Structure 1
Amino acid sequence: MKAGGNAARDAGWPGDLLGPVSSLPEFSRLWVAFSGGLDSSLLLHVAAACHPDVTALHINHQLQPNHEQTEQFCRDACARLGVALVVERVEVAGSGAGGLEDAARGARYRVFRRWVDDNDLLLMAHHGDDQIETVLFRLLRGTGVNGLAGMPHTRPLGRGRLYRPWLDISRERLEQVAMAAGLNWVEDPSNAGHAFDRNYLRHAVLPGLKVRWPGLLKRVAHSARACEESEQLNQRLAELQWQACSDAGRLKLEAFRLLTGPEQRNLVRWWIHHQGWQVPALSDWSQALTDMVGAGEDREPEIRGEGFSLRRYREYLYLVPNIDVPEPSVWLAPGPPMKWGRWHLQLMAGPSPVTAKTPSPPIRVSTRQGGERVRFTSGEHSRALKTWLQEQGVPPWERALLPLVYRQEQGINELIAIGDLWCSEQYSGGGHAGGWRLIVERDCD
């Protein structure tokens, strides 16, 4: 903890720090991400001086030996300022593929998204030195222009927005102001070592770069802005090409093939990001897309990402979320809709009154087991379900998730519905066998 006197809530903070915090976009509620460190402590004081109702949000990752003392420091600091405080303790389970830093960041942002409500604004104390670290870190990871644009001043966060008012101010300036104000803060013990990549850049790389190039912060900020503008153009191009190449949420290969390789990769990355997923870090995106587009119609190529996969079926590309296959067999009783995978099924009374003489039929819902046959109208021969689904153009991964609905009684095992693709006239339209109606809908409906 840094020693010093108590900084008053209404202290005369310098204009270069006060200005960006006082002129914020409109918001319903103002949050400050408060770790207890120098940067966020100073931001909380300045925000409290500018705005009457501020709420601090402290996330305790429980990773450092002094985490309880840090949490108590945050409670005391907010009490002195008269600022409301929300404290969340999180479990950072394992380091995952991105290391402990990424795991902690993921846990932190999940909390942010849970608390930040409609039109809320969350302030974060990232500064110019953080921006340099981010750009260098992403450069060393081999990122594209999107990553080299660095951290944006503002972006959507859950139902609200994240805002970084001090991204153009150096860490040295923040420390100068904090020391002059006699501000207290807590040092994170992990920041002193070189174990984490960002700490290594901060302590071993950036000091020498700043000596060699005194205007480093402005130089990197200029390059980051240029990359941001380039990325905005990429995004706009992808939006226009999506309008020309898409059909019902899919990409038409006929139109997609007319794009250049860079345009194809840009469009697919935009599509993945637009759906809320992380773009997979492939060693050769160009080859992966070439293989997918050029695969024969009898092939089922895919590119797997975290929580989804990019797949091809016939002349279309699909983004397919990972969905667990529902229970293989369940009974459907009359009443409220039953959720089954990403479907909702309901057995309800039809227009004609249901009496004790017309009890609800025994209805079973199942996944495909293989060899199913269906008779669409009475008197006609049954057909192989597999062949009919192929004729309807249903992709293979969709077939495995379709709810097949059977009427099963007295030795009868009759297929009466196939997802939302077909329903027997006895349970739809005006038929309503025995007064009962069957409704099958997707979640997206």
Structure 2
Amino acid sequence: MPDLNPQTVAALLPATCRKVFVAYSGGLDSTVLLDLCVGLPAFAGKIVAVYVDHGLQAESAGWGEHCRRQAERLGVDFELLTVDARASNGESPEAAAREARYRALRQLLAVDDVILLAQHREDQMETLLLQLFRGAGVSGLAGMPIASAFGRGQLLRPLLEVAKVDIQRYAQTHGLHWVEDPSNQSSDFDRNYLRNEILPVLKQRWPALDKTVARSAKHCGDAAQMIEAWAEQTLPTVFDPTDGSFNIADLSAITATQLNCLLRYWLRRMGLKPPSQAVLQTLVEQLVCGRCDATAQVCIQGSIIRKYREKLYCIPEQCLQKEVQTNPWIQEQERIILSNGYVLSRSIASAGLSKNLWNNAEVTVEPRRGGEKLKLPGRAGHHFLKKLYQEAGVPPWERDIRPLIYLDGRLAAVAGLWVAEWAWLSEADGCYQLDWRASESM
């Protein structure tokens, strides 16, 4: 590999980037990365050193001051971010600190901004080995990518293919000053234990271990990209974007391995992390291959997976909470946020619920209590909502949470589905259309 120099960073930086944030801890690696960035005249005035204070050690404030002074000496802007990195129940301190740090950094970026991290080849090796010990698949064994989307911008790791020894040599040659985190010497954390106790022994036998393991990570990354491309191409054959469901009616052309891949990809599309193998097996056994049981469900990451009419649905737990009270709809309101996170909104339409009736009535939003009937436009007789829901294929759990609209105490509409004949109107801009959907934040 060529000598470490500013072009190592420049090769990755888009010429159009607005700001270049450098995650700067004050340690050896990030100190070298910042120094490399300063050697890029084309990006003068765009470099911002960012120190994240986790507040976990007494020395952290002093390290932040060191970083500030170094940034001033180098003539680059500086930002200090303070985060709450305390671990929640069941969360490792390492994971909590990393998530808090990434969350803070992600919020910094605007469109066309980049954030640079100083992880190097040994870091990549440690990541792959830790993932291997946890039983990860090819995506996990791919380690860290050199470039990835991050918030509204992009995250880059310019030193990921650089050996630690080259970083040390650069720092010594250029007379750089950095801080040493004493916690790095503690082997209580998994990564430190691997770095301090295990890898030195392995490198005695296999000196080029970091290079060969990084090569394996690249192979796994290539395989993961191929799997990703297949899943992205295949998922539309079983995915219904209107309700986010996964169709399991005909999986005859899909192998068990491919099914697992699609289910992981589907759950990721629904905003969840990849499930463990045990959870995935339970999902397949109880829902995909199990009999059609309306009460069967699998809980995962605050969401519920349920099955109805040969479809799987992924529903946030909050969305399954039933409204128990009547909510008045004030005339000036265009939307109501319900306690279970759903948003009920109205918009002007040429067919739907009569604006005239709405504007001259007391409008209330009420939960289903059972026994309600509705006469639909152009259809004879009144019908129980239970029957209408069944005919329309509305999942059982949705029937109790979909709100009902009353005008002066009379059932006028089922949000997002039907309007009673007596309240129905077809007139240009003379109607309201009611929409009911989960909030985008859920």
Number of the residue aligned with 1:274: 269
Give the 3-state SS of the residue equivalent to 2:105 in structure 1.
helix
Number of the residue aligned with 1:301: 296
1:23-422 matches, within 5 Å, as 23-26=11-14, 27-50=17-40, 51-52=43-44, 53-248=46-241, 249-283=244-278, 285-324=280-319, 325=321, 327=323, 328-340=325-337, 341-346=341-346, 360-376=360-376, 381-408=381-408, 413-422=409-418
CA distance in 2 between counterparts of 1:358 and 1:151 reads 56
The 8 Å contact of residues 335 and 346 in structure 1, kept in 2 or not, is answered as no
Give the 3-state SS of the residue equivalent to 2:263 in structure 1.
helix
Deviations 1:77-120 (A, max 9, x none): 11111211222111124344331111111111111221111121
CA distance in 2 between counterparts of 1:256 and 1:99 reads 39
The 8 Å contact of residues 406 and 416 in structure 1, kept in 2 or not, is answered as yes
Query: What TM-score do you get using the length of structure 2 for normalisation?
Result: 0.87
Alignment pair present for 1:430 and 2:426: yes
CA distance in 1 between counterparts of 2:232 and 2:350 reads 45
Give the 3-state SS of the residue equivalent to 1:311 in structure 2.
strand
Letter in 2 for 1:430: S
CA distance in 1 between counterparts of 2:205 and 2:93 reads 32
Deviations 1:57-87 (A, max 9, x none): 2211111111111111121111111211222
User: Which structure 1 residue ranges, 5 or more long, are not aligned?
Assistant: 1-13
The 8 Å contact of residues 119 and 157 in structure 2, kept in 1 or not, is answered as yes
The 8 Å contact of residues 4 and 167 in structure 2, kept in 1 or not, is answered as no
Deviations 1:344-397 (A, max 9, x none): 33488999x999x99631111122233433333599654322232122111123
**Pair 161,436 (structure 1): closer, same or farther in 2 beyond 3 Å:** same
Letter in 2 for 1:16: L
> Hey, which bits of structure 1, 4+ residues long, moved more than 6 A?
347-351
Deviations 1:197-237 (A, max 9, x none): 11100101111111110110111011111111111111122
Deviates more, 1:358-367 or 1:254-263: 358-367
CA distance in 2 between counterparts of 1:309 and 1:166 reads 41
Give the 3-state SS of the residue equivalent to 2:80 in structure 1.
strand
Give the 3-state SS of the residue equivalent to 1:185 in structure 2.
coil
**Pair 354,261 (structure 1): closer, same or farther in 2 beyond 3 Å:** closer
Give the 3-state SS of the residue equivalent to 2:425 in structure 1.
coil
Deviates more, 1:210-219 or 1:88-97: 88-97
1:10-25 matches, within 5 Å, as 15-25=3-13
- Percent identical pairs in the alignment equals 33
Shift of 1:47: 0.9
Q: Calculate the aligned-residue CA RMSD, in Å.
A: 2.9
**Pair 428,63 (structure 1): closer, same or farther in 2 beyond 3 Å:** farther
Give the 3-state SS of the residue equivalent to 2:402 in structure 1.
coil
Deviates more, 1:310-319 or 1:165-174: 310-319
Aligned length: 424
CA distance in 1 between counterparts of 2:202 and 2:278 reads 30
CA distance in 2 between counterparts of 1:161 and 1:303 reads 35
CA distance in 2 between counterparts of 1:329 and 1:93 reads 40
Letter in 1 for 2:263: V
Letter in 1 for 2:318: I
User: Which structure 2 residue ranges, 5 or more long, are not aligned?
Assistant: none
Give the 3-state SS of the residue equivalent to 2:55 in structure 1.
coil
CA distance in 2 between counterparts of 1:93 and 1:386 reads 48
Letter in 2 for 1:58: Y
Letter in 2 for 1:258: A
Number of the residue aligned with 1:440: 434
The 8 Å contact of residues 134 and 151 in structure 1, kept in 2 or not, is answered as yes
CA distance in 1 between counterparts of 2:306 and 2:264 reads 14
Shift of 1:29: 2.0
Deviations 1:35-63 (A, max 9, x none): 12111111111112112121122211111
The 8 Å contact of residues 28 and 120 in structure 1, kept in 2 or not, is answered as yes
Deviations 1:413-442 (A, max 9, x none): 31111111012355453379xx98443114
The 8 Å contact of residues 30 and 121 in structure 1, kept in 2 or not, is answered as yes
**Pair 358,235 (structure 1): closer, same or farther in 2 beyond 3 Å:** closer
Deviates more, 1:75-84 or 1:297-306: 297-306
